[in-house]
Structure 1
Amino acid sequence: MTDKICVGAIAGAFGVHGEVRLKSFCTEPSDIAEYGPLTTEDGGRSFTIRLTRPVTGGIGARIGGVATREEAEALKGTTLWAPRSVLPSLPDDEFYHADLIGLTVVDPGGATLGRVRAIYDHGAGDILEVVGGAQLLLLPFTRAVVPTIDLGAGRIIADPPGEGVADDD
């Protein structure tokens, strides 16, 4: 488990007075302002966030110390991280994505399928990207396909659906 969780990213400048467009990764997007100050992944920079308004593709925000469009645009792509200690505790059947990255994935018989490399959410539900050797699996992150997650053991048990899921490229 990591001591920081990525809660959002700066998607670019918004307007001409230093406002930014934030992409929040929080269940409730406005919660991103409650976990601050937020930092870069390496902790090298710290940001205070004040939300201003909803904008297309995210949330408008002011970042402390950013006063011009050029300063805001220079932050585009910066990920925003919060200490795990300020985030809410999750129920037993919910997980922070950061806790799943790197876990070993095995099938119900114990054969290793690979490791979780990424988690994607394209709107219809989360997808686990599992890599192992030359094999790439994209698994729906549902209870039917992923019945067991054991963070203590660093392992996920997955029962991949039939044909069409694996891609050997």
Structure 2
Amino acid sequence: MTNPDHTCVGAISGSFGVRGEVRLKSFCAEPSDIGSYGPLSTEDGAQTYTITLTRPVKAGYAAMLSGVATKEDADALRGTRLYAPRSALPSLPDDEFYHADLVGLTVLDTGGEVIGTVASVANHGAGDILELSGPGLPSGLLIPFTLAVVPTVDIAAGRVIVDMPDGLIGGDKPDTSDTAPLGQDFD
């Protein structure tokens, strides 16, 4: 079980070389910051590692972890997520949020009706995307995490307000009145 006072900042994707280094993928806005948050722990808190970044590698960093001395030790950690104490992370401006703070928030439409919860947050390079879940929502409903679609985030109240784009849920039909049939132009 994840400690709410800790935030996932990276994961070990395997070994690097034969001397106990690991290949480390950073989830930090500035990837090299992963080495500056002090000792990192596993999700259950059973293991703690001091991280020393040794060099950048494709999709991350090569790093030495305290207590990891062999390639076999490093291989055994493949897939391990690493967590930093929340107190070690920098404060964010009012319009920025840690992904972990968004997951689980109640999602309301602009009329105040509950439509679900934030199931996850992803970023595949073009910006953050919220996955919503709830009764009446299609499975895996994704919306862009932009000011136009999510005008209000209130962490203290545990909610986000979403101005749902037409056609995503329920009986909403996209407005196509100003769209010409394929291959035709409006005059």
More strand by share: 1
Runs (5+) with no aligned partner, structure 1: none
1:18/1:66 contact within 8 Å kept: yes
Alpha-carbon distance in structure 1 between the residues aligned to 2:71 and 2:58:
17
Alpha-carbon distance in structure 1 between the residues aligned to 2:146 and 2:13:
29
Tell whether 2:155 aligns with 1:151.
yes
Alpha-carbon distance in structure 1 between the residues aligned to 2:104 and 2:46:
24
Matches within 5 A, 1:50-129: 50-129=52-131
1:96-123 deviations in whole A, cap 9, x for unaligned? Answer: 1111110000110011121111101100
Counterpart amino acid of residue 157 in structure 2: A
* DSSP 3-state at the match of 1:71: helix
> Shift of residue 27 of structure 1?
0.7
State the 4+ residue runs in structure 1 displaced beyond 6 angstroms.
Answer: none
Count of matched residue pairs: 166
- Structure of greater relative contact order (alpha carbons < 8 Å, 6+ residues apart): 1
Counterpart amino acid of residue 103 in structure 2: I
Q: Structure 1 residues 69 and 92 mapped into 2: Cα distance closer, same or farther (>3 Å)?
A: same
Find the structure with the greater CA-based Rg.
Answer: 2
* DSSP 3-state at the match of 1:118: strand
Counterpart amino acid of residue 142 in structure 2: L
Counterpart amino acid of residue 143 in structure 1: L
Counterpart amino acid of residue 46 in structure 1: T
The equivalent of 2:143 in structure 1 is 139
Counterpart amino acid of residue 40 in structure 1: T
TM-score by length of 2: 0.85
Q: Structure 1 residues 166 and 9 mapped into 2: Cα distance closer, same or farther (>3 Å)?
A: farther
Alpha-carbon distance in structure 2 between the residues aligned to 1:16 and 1:162:
54
1:138/1:166 contact within 8 Å kept: no
Counterpart amino acid of residue 153 in structure 1: A
Runs (5+) with no aligned partner, structure 2: 171-187
> Shift of residue 131 of structure 1?
0.1
* DSSP 3-state at the match of 1:130: strand
Alpha-carbon distance in structure 2 between the residues aligned to 1:2 and 1:150:
18
1:107-151 deviations in whole A, cap 9, x for unaligned? Answer: 100111211111011000010000002523211000110000011
TM-score by length of 1: 0.94
